[in-house]
Amino acid sequence: MNQFADYNPIIMSIIKTNNLERFYTEGDVTVKALNGVSLNIEEGEFTAIVGPSGSGKTTLLNVIGGLDSPTNGAVEIANTEITNMKDNELIDFRLKNIGFVFQAYNLIPVLSALENTEFIMLLQNQPKEKRHARAIALLEEVGLKDQIYKKPNEMSGGQQQRVAVARALASKPKFVLADEPTANLDSKSTGDLLDIMLELNEKEKTTFIFSTHDQRVIDRAKRVITLEDGKIISDETK
């Protein structure tokens, strides 16, 4: 039974990878970070990519997100091939289509939570009133109504990561890539953040793809893809 059939009878594959390979050379040794990864991610998924350190999790997210280029293979995002895009085309494509949440938050220290959330929309040249209203609404949605004018150093790690989630959603991306988003958070902050992301997934059908080793993320995921030595060794839907 298709778990997304209730809200949309036509399910769209928004990410397709075909035989992805990413090789690195370290001295005389070739490291196969990705070694023939083919997968489809459908709209509305809440998917965890798991595996031991060095299995290729972060490399896979970076290649899907256009932050790294594959040695071989192809990546298609919403029917658009991104593998051979020029740098300026890829930057523009990422800006319009992909949201990112990183382990280290990557907020701009001198900007408030509101300004950090607005920043992507500013790069998109959206009108001030429009981006301001959306940023406030997103920060309220992630539980930061009373924190919007605070700068990162005035917030806890969990609050900063919520700002990062709001920022990732600001441009209305086709999906959000979250690379170890709970790694620097305590148990309560992790639970709160995951509850927010799961609610966004279930209510707004926001697609999330995580790389993680955190069992709390894995427990909440609806699909778990396990990598080992750059290969998919299992792919389970709950």
Question: What's the token pair of residue 49?
Answer: 């990519």
Mean pLDDT of 81-108: 92
The confidence score (pLDDT) of residue 47 equals 97
The confidence score (pLDDT) of residue 12 equals 73
What angle do helix axes 157-170 and 187-204 make, rounded to 10 degrees? 20
Count the residues in the chain: 238
pLDDT band at 1 (very low <50, low <70, confident <90, very high): very low
pLDDT tens across 55-67, in order?
999 999 999 999 9
- Please report, for the chain, the start and end positions of each structural domain, with discontinuous segments joined by +: 13-237
For residue 137, the 8-state DSSP code is: H
Mean pLDDT of 87-94: 93
The confidence score (pLDDT) of residue 104 equals 87
Task: Give Cα separations from 229 to 51, 140, 160 (angstroms).
Answer: 9, 41, 33
The confidence score (pLDDT) of residue 127 equals 94
- 3-state secondary structure (DSSP) of residue 37: strand
Tell whether the model's pLDDT for residue 16 goes beyond 50.
yes
Tokens 């085309």 belong to residue: 89
Strand 98-101 versus strand 175-179 pairing type: parallel
For residue 6, the 8-state DSSP code is: T
The confidence score (pLDDT) of residue 11 equals 57
Mean pLDDT of 185-204: 91
**Mean pLDDT estimate for the chain:** 91
Q: Considering only CA atoms, give the Rg of the chain.
A: 18
The confidence score (pLDDT) of residue 27 equals 84
Mean pLDDT of 188-213: 92
pLDDT band at 134 (very low <50, low <70, confident <90, very high): very high
Tell whether the model's pLDDT for residue 5 goes beyond 50.
no
Cα 156 to chain centroid distance, Å, stands at 21
Mean pLDDT of 68-79: 95
Share of the chain above pLDDT 90, in %: 82
Tell whether the model's pLDDT for residue 45 goes beyond 80.
yes
pLDDT tens across 138-174, in order?
999 999 999 999 999 999 999 999 999 999 999 889 9
- DSSP symbols for 129-194: HHHHHHHHHHHHHTT-TT-TT--GGGS-HHHHHHHHHHHHHHT--SEEEEESTTTT--HHHHHHHH
Fold of 13-237: Rossmann fold (3.40.50)
Share of the chain above pLDDT 70, in %: 95
pLDDT band at 131 (very low <50, low <70, confident <90, very high): very high
Mean pLDDT of 101-108: 91
Mean pLDDT of 2-20: 67
